[in-house]
Amino acid sequence: MPLRRLRAGLRRPPGIPGPLAVGLSALLAAMLLALGVAPGLGRLQGAAPQPVPIRALMPAPLADAVAGPVARFNAKNPGVRLEVIRGPLDTEAISDLAISSLLLGEAPFDLLLVDVSWLAKYVAAGWFTPLDGWFGPEVLAAMEPGARLGNSIGDHLWRMPLTGDTGLLYWRTDLMDRPPRDTDELVAISRDLQRRGKVPWGYLWQGRQYEGLSCVMVEVLQAFGARWWDGASGATALDSPEAVAAASWLDGLLRHGVSPASVAGFTENDALQMFAAGEAAFLRNWPYAWREIEKADGPIRGKVGVTTVVAAPGRQAGGTLGTWGLSLIRGSPHPEEAVTAIRWLTGETVQRQLALEQGYAPTWSRLYDDPELQRQAPLLVVQRAALQHPEPRPLTAAYAQLSDLLTRQVNGMLTGQEAPAAAMASAQRQSLQVLRSMVGTPAAAGTGP
Amino acid sequence: MTITAPGLELRQLSRELEGRRLLDGLDLQVAPGECVALLGPSGCGKSTTLRLVAGLDPASEGNVLLDGEDLTLREPGERQVAMVFQSYALYPHLSVQGNLELGLKVRGVPAAERRQRIDAILDLLQLGSLRHRRPAQLSGGQRQRVALARALLRQPRIVLLDEPMSNLDAQLREELRPELRRLLCGGEQPVIYVTHDQQEATGMADRIALLEGGRLQQVGTPRELYENPANRFVASFLGRPAINLLPMAHRRQLGLRPEHLILGEEGPLAARLLRREWWGHQQLLWLESDQGPLRLLTSAAAAMPPQPRLSWQRRHELWFDADSGARLAP
Amino acid sequence: MKLSGAKALLMLPALLLLVAVFLYPLLRYGWLSGHASSVLTGLRPVPNGGANWQRLIEDVRFWKDAGQTLRFAFCSVALELAGGLGVALLLHQPLRGRGTLRALTLLPWALPTTVMALGWRWILNDPHGPLNAALRSLGAPSYGFLTTPATTWFFAVLADVWKTMPFVALLLLAGLQSIPADLEETLRLEGASRIQILRRLTLPLLVPYLSLALLFRLAQALGVFDLIQVLTGGGPGGSTESLSLYAYLNAMRFLDFGYAATVMLATFLLLAVLLGVGWLLLRRARIARTTGGPA
């Protein structure tokens, strides 16, 4: 009888046993499912073909780009079966995925395509095997200067670069005769075009609270003569007058309407979409954007030029280094075969194809001199120029923290929560705090491993 | 306008739900102070009638009148009806006092008057000591009395009782019957008492309205229904053990109540004893006759003749049409 | 009641499970929070005294996130309870097609949070989202819903309410259906209005269900992670970052497990205290009503 049940229910604490039981049985069901499925997976693995399996985890766009070369590799190497795992598109998401499996011990892949900003962290965590045994010290010498950076830590080579991407400046050839030479010109041209009603906006870039904003910050700090990270002292210098000037310039772009306020929520793709719709004069993005613009039948197709990023008058400009490279996971059961795959994928043949078909910047100097490539890939000249003075992100194992708190502060500034000087002072203070706590307390130093 | 007697009058009251006729043209009058029992098997329409009178469900046709005033379209809260449910419907989160007080609060009765009225009713029903208990802490009988107290506190113009004793054990039911009658009946209000138990109906009610399939079969005093049933259904439903029905010529049935059969050495029917049930001062005999099985109720002391035969008095004969069940003249 | 051997044996799996999924991680966090375990220690735990806890106390971000998490949880849960009650009352009415309606109501709850959050992110996108398209078609300029702290917070709460209100509604609907109809009918016969019935009868009888929903949802909302992670990434300027997201960043992105454990444990303790206080208040309220003398 319902009434009696209700009364009984009122006397006891409400309903705890019921939901708890449901939760527990759900958990149990999940466990049973896992137990039932696991042997099935085991059988699948056991039934794998004879050749040595090598698996590589890559973000989806690059995984798709290397599909052809991978097939050719497998045809040429019958003893190895190279397989590319298509990871998420977002750089941070794929890092989270890789870390999740690495933390669990046996990673289900032998090779990882590593963003330049992750390397120090992964190496410090001890997840990679150095490549010195297979590649001599001279191997990097055949590459462009920018492509050599971010592969070695200490005396070891940890990564073979596959792409030599840097941040680039896209400009509208139909609106101006030549690209701006410095930040002042960029703003002046923008405001002039906006005033004359040619474009609603001047400059589009990435301002969302994520790693992309750090890439923008690296360029802007460099453009104003500031440095984020001082490798020698192992400290940050985000509250220098130059750094505050850089932040103020970025902030001013929004305040003065050169960039839309929505930039504070933009990723690369958001900015690209708006630029491709013809709504701005300039765009900061990576090399891939060129092909996207030219591929789509948009209003600015054929009206876009690409150049290196600009600095304040009298300063040296440098695009943020955004290279990808392959690293060998420690504990891979087949390192020899895995390195064979690295050699092939990062070799000139594959890089040449990627440059031709996908617009990725090569790392080998020889490819930049290749006449056919120069004809087919007009971006090559700019890419080579950009690789002469690239700006790497802080090469420290604490980079993720530093980047996280800088983007947090700068995004806070862009959305009007803090003034530039306060934001940078706060970023500097927190950076030092993090570094102090990470380097360890006296107690930790005393009993370190 | 027709002149109506004081009291409750149901005129051609009907309810149809999803094509099913739950109640079909019920005409019934309940005088002030009179207690009418609605009796019948489950699904016969007795609870439906109660809900129509209370206004909890809308009538499809017909009217509910009280002292000539048409209540059919009134909200339940405006009818001044008190209803005691089978479950007693006590508010489980409130004490006895809270249960009594909520209705008064809702109607805006001032605190002092509330207190006074509650004290009076608690005295009347001797519930004072249970005042702060919650329904869950009461026995079945106590709950019933609280529900009754709450109904009386309403100062109702009509009292409706929906199987108020079916959740009590048999002994308690018998004990409570006179008290219920004392408290509810004989006052100003008409009382409708729904039950499926004929003993309760005969014990409580001045008149019984027997329902079947949404239709009124017969209404009258318990005695009238027993002695002069309108049809075979009424004859079978009332009286325990149930009436014997013997197939006769011309598609007729002869109804003979077990207590009216006389066991002896003479009579029109020969019988053979199958089984005996002892009922204290009486015994129920299960017999096999030429006309089929029969039940016979007789004194416990009666002896079984060697060649038993059955007889009865003419005046106890009840004749029915074998097909329609309609009552026929003897 | 004394446990017999057989009963104890039957409870053993449940106890083991409880220890495995609940107690062990807690003890592990406690232990880890006394250690440095980061990329700088090669991910090996090295005792560091109370350094993590000291850092936590001085960590402005932790306390800011704590405030933000509490504010988010209280506002979402309050709205969910109010809205869920409304929806439950509506679904309790004898309506045509009620079954279909109930199934439809459940849809947002059945949707994975990440998918739902991506959907909201698209709707609110500036300038490409449909909401801004609608604004522009009305002649208004685009609005940075996810670049303005106040609106970002508002939409995070709205998305959470939209997603979890069905759960609350269904729980309360179950509660409503457990209330026997004759209680309400008795009160109707006393002349009570709908509002009076709701206030005097329905709500008091729903208290067990309401408090269950409250505790469930509060515990969930205080641990909000995926919605924030996908919808706002904690931004703009960290103004929507939750404690769970901060703990996640410390562990998965910064590989600072010692501090991540400290943040998680501190969060757990904070929540435990909060839920404990809430539980006690509810219980006291119920006891007060149970033993309450003359009203």
Spell out the domains of chain A, with CATH numbers in brackets: 52-164+322-386 (3.40.190.10), 168-320+398-439 (3.40.190.10)
| pLDDT surpasses 60 at A24 | no
CB contact under 8 A, A19 and C126: no
Q: What is the pLDDT of residue B291?
A: 84
Measured between CB atoms, does C190 come within 8 Å of chain B?
Answer: yes
Mutate one of C46, C185, C283 to test the A interface: name it (highest A CB count within 10 A).
Answer: C46
Can you point out the beta strands (E) in A60-104? 80-87
User: How far is CA C103 from each of CA C17, C106, C112, C121, rounded to the nearest angstrom?
Assistant: 33, 5, 16, 25
Sign of the alpha-carbon torsion through C233, C238, C239, C240: positive
CA angle A353, A350, A352 (to 5 degrees): 40
Of the pLDDT bands very low, low, confident and very high (cuts 50, 70, 90), residue B19 is: confident
**What is the pLDDT averaged over residues C3-29?**
82
Q: Per residue in C250-265, pLDDT tens?
A: 998 888 899 999 999 9
Between CA B158 and CA B246 the distance in angstroms is 43
Of the pLDDT bands very low, low, confident and very high (cuts 50, 70, 90), residue A202 is: very high
**Class of the CATH domain delimited by B8-233:** alpha beta
- Residue closest to B14 by CA, chosen among B44, B51, B49: B49
Sign of the alpha-carbon torsion through A143, A144, A149, A150: negative
Between CA A143 and CA B10 the distance in angstroms is 103
Angstroms from B134 CA to nearest CA on chain A: 10
CB contact under 8 A, A441 and C46: no
Q: What is the pLDDT of residue A439?
A: 60
Measured between CB atoms, does C254 come within 8 Å of chain A?
Answer: yes
Q: What is the pLDDT of residue C179?
A: 92
Between CA B38 and CA B88 the distance in angstroms is 18
Residue tagged 């300063």 (tokens): A315
Angstroms from A412 CA to nearest CA on chain B: 52
CB pairs under 8 A between B and C: 66
- Residue closest to B159 by CA, chosen among B138, B174, B180, B173: B180
| Domains of chain B by residue range | 8-233, 244-328
Between CA A67 and CA B83 the distance in angstroms is 80
* Residues making up chain A, counted from first to last: 449
DSSP type of residue A149: T
pTM of the model: 0.78
Chains that touch C (3 or more CB pairs under 8 A): A, B
Which residues of chain B have a CB within 8 Å of the CB of C200?
Answer: 102, 105-106
B292-299 and B282-289 beta bridge pairing: antiparallel
Hey, what amino acid is at C117?
A: A
Q: Per residue in C181-208, pLDDT tens?
A: 999 999 999 988 999 999 999 999 998 8
What are A297's two structure tokens? 């039948």
Residue B316 backbone phi and psi in degrees, to 5: -90, -5
Q: Per residue in C264-287, pLDDT tens?
A: 999 989 888 888 887 888 777 666
Angstroms from C164 CA to nearest CA on chain B: 29
Cβ atoms of A170 and A305 within 8 Å: the answer is yes
CB-hemisphere CA count at 13 Å for A160?
Answer: 29
CB contact under 8 A, C40 and A124: yes
Q: What is the pLDDT of residue C279?
A: 81
Between CA A224 and CA A309 the distance in angstroms is 12
Between CA C51 and CA C44 the distance in angstroms is 16
A324-329 and A111-115 beta bridge pairing: antiparallel
| pLDDT surpasses 50 at B194 | yes
Residue A241 backbone phi and psi in degrees, to 5: -55, -35
Higher pLDDT, C52 or A8: C52
**Class of the CATH domain delimited by C50-290:** mainly alpha
- Please list, in sequence order, all residues whose beta carbon lies within 8 angstroms of the beta carbon of residue C226, skipping any fewer than 6 positions away: C113, C114, C117
- Residue closest to C75 by CA, chosen among C150, C176, C147: C150
**What is the pLDDT averaged over residues A169-194?**
96
Which of C186, C191, C289 is nearest residue B93 as measured by Cβ atoms? Answer: C289
What are A356's two structure tokens? 């031709």
| pLDDT surpasses 80 at B209 | yes
CB contact under 8 A, B136 and A3: no
CA angle B249, B250, B253 (to 5 degrees): 65
| pLDDT surpasses 70 at A26 | no
Which of C39, C239, C253 is nearest residue A124 as measured by Cβ atoms? Answer: C39
Q: Per residue in B147-170, pLDDT tens?
A: 989 998 888 999 999 988 887 888
Of the pLDDT bands very low, low, confident and very high (cuts 50, 70, 90), residue C77 is: very high
A257 three-class SS: coil
Instruction: Give me the residues of C, 25-44, that contact A with CB < 8 A.
Output: 36, 38-44
CB contact under 8 A, C255 and A439: no
**CATH number corresponding to B244-328:** 2.40.50
Which residues of chain B have a CB within 8 Å of the CB of C207?
Answer: 93
Helix or strand (DSSP H, E) at A156: strand A156-157
CB contact under 8 A, B136 and A1: no
CA angle A235, A241, A242 (to 5 degrees): 80
Angstroms from B294 CA to nearest CA on chain C: 44
Q: What is the pLDDT of residue B53?
A: 94
Nearest chain A alpha carbon to C211: A14
A327 three-class SS: strand
Q: Per residue in A96-120, pLDDT tens?
A: 889 988 888 778 899 999 999 999 9
Angstroms from B203 CA to nearest CA on chain A: 28
| pLDDT surpasses 70 at A20 | no
CB contact under 8 A, B76 and C188: yes
Q: What is the pLDDT of residue C287?
A: 61
| pLDDT surpasses 60 at A407 | yes
Q: Per residue in B27-86, pLDDT tens?
A: 999 999 899 999 999 889 999 999 999 999 999 999 999 998 999 999 998 999 999 998
Hey, what amino acid is at A178?
A: R
Of the pLDDT bands very low, low, confident and very high (cuts 50, 70, 90), residue A27 is: very low
- Residue closest to A1 by CA, chosen among B119, B85, B189: B85
Can you point out the beta strands (E) in A80-155? 80-87, 111-115, 128-129, 152-153
Nearest chain C alpha carbon to A426: C60
Angstroms from B21 CA to nearest CA on chain C: 20
A168-172 and A280-285 beta bridge pairing: antiparallel
Of the pLDDT bands very low, low, confident and very high (cuts 50, 70, 90), residue C290 is: low
Q: Per residue in A268-297, pLDDT tens?
A: 999 999 999 999 999 999 988 988 898 878
CB-hemisphere CA count at 13 Å for B236?
Answer: 17
- Predicted-assembly ipTM surpassing the 0.95 threshold: no
Hey, what amino acid is at A16?
A: I
What are B5's two structure tokens? 């007697």
Other beta carbons within 10 angstroms of residue C141's beta carbon come to 10
CB contact under 8 A, A99 and C255: yes
Nearest chain A alpha carbon to B136: A7
Angstroms from C93 CA to nearest CA on chain B: 15
Of the pLDDT bands very low, low, confident and very high (cuts 50, 70, 90), residue C37 is: confident
Between CA B56 and CA A23 the distance in angstroms is 41
Between CA A95 and CA B23 the distance in angstroms is 73
Task: Kindly write down the DSSP assignment for every residue of chain C, as one continuous string.
Answer: -PPPHHHHHHHHHHHHHHIIIIIHHHHHHHHHTTEE-SGGGTT--EE-TTHHHHHHHH-HHHHHHHHHHHHHHHHHHHHHHHHHHHHHHHHHS--TTHHHHHHHHHHHHHS-HHHHHHHHHHHH-TTTSHHHHHHHHTTPPP--TTTSHHHHHHHHHHHHHHHHHHHHHHHHHHHHHHS-HHHHHHHHHTT--HHHHIIIIIHHHHHHHHHHHHHHHHHHHHT--HHHHHHTTT-STTTT--HHHHHHIIIIIT--HHHHHHHHHHHHHHHHHHHHHHHHHHHHHHHHHHH----
| pLDDT surpasses 70 at A307 | yes
Question: Please, what's the b/e burial string for A330-354 (b: 16 or more CB within 10 A of its CB; e: otherwise)?
Answer: eebeebebbbbbbbbbbeeebbbbb
Between CA A143 and CA A166 the distance in angstroms is 15
Which of C182, C189, C200 is nearest residue B76 as measured by Cβ atoms? Answer: C189
User: How far is CA B185 from each of CA A35, B36, B161, rounded to the nearest angstrom?
Assistant: 71, 10, 12
Q: Per residue in A339-362, pLDDT tens?
A: 999 999 999 999 999 998 888 899
- Residue closest to A103 by CA, chosen among A119, A125, A128: A125
- Residue closest to B90 by CA, chosen among B102, B80, B78: B102
- Please list, in sequence order, all residues whose beta carbon lies within 8 angstroms of the beta carbon of residue C180, skipping any fewer than 6 positions away: A2, A3, A6, B87, B89
Q: What is the pLDDT of residue A183?
A: 96
Nearest chain B alpha carbon to C207: B93
| Domains of chain C by residue range | 50-290
A152-153 and A156-157 beta bridge pairing: antiparallel
